[in-house]
Structure 1
């Protein structure tokens, strides 16, 4: 899937290039990675595989940990949008909406509850666990935005509300991609667990 500007194409693997991504709307060549702004995770490398413990394939699964560098001066708040870039729909499937993060270097610990969250694709205000058919690879794009003003959105806002509130106020942006493919082995592990005494 294409339709993205060159600066974003160069930063995303081909399978993650969905034209409806939040960063395609709110990011720009000027603000992408501005001042060295970068998002990473201690749980996976950029483009690497998401561990099943962050998906519906494991019990008690939680959101993965994330870390980011200091945004450029003038950033008062950070917002995070996580979307599944796999599929042909006009909008990618939304897995997490987070805002209210301080405009400074920071992190979210594994399973940590963020300050404010919006509704994911299922209408819940939490990390939407990837739940995939066996053998079908999906690309998850973690998009972090540094904003020049604090958002006044109420918790539980929808994706479109968050994107509209951020429009025109993004001073820096960055993205991190993780992929996940449910394997038959994962399903066999579940089956084995069912029969253990």
Structure 2
């Protein structure tokens, strides 16, 4: 990743794109390298500009944000933050499965936008507490995409130690590293070590992937 974060803004509403671009224009470590009005444009621009982070709307013409995110992640064209509103819960789990690294509300303040871009740009997953609760509720609901996945990850989960399983359960419940440390009465550095080991053993790149597996396996928060 370059020292200056390269960002691509994708939304079919020009006013949303221009608003975000204006917010970011004052940041010395962030530059907007392009804007797209649909998923297909986003993929073409991502191929050309190689952004670090793509801020992606969901509902767009020609190709929606979920399909575009899936292709972007598969082709390693950048990490994706999904733009969302609280009336679009049905998209959250699909976006996570497509490989999104986090969510950002469309009415986000400038500091929230900048913090989100820096977090995801530096390799972290972004699951704000209010969004995490909705994602967890979605995955726990009857008939959700996570239903029936208890045995799907048995081989991967069998590699985890008992303590790593404890950490994974709490991650699946939306706990931060600091909260996990407090719950398990262990140090924050120890939690970080466990989390890194969990990512490696479950073959996921970030917290989002681990949370999905915890819920699909039915062990989150248990």
Query: Structure 1 length normalisation: TM-score?
Result: 0.24
More helix by share: 2
Structure showing greater relative contact order (alpha-carbon pairs closer than 8 Å, 6 or more residues apart): 1
More strand by share: 1
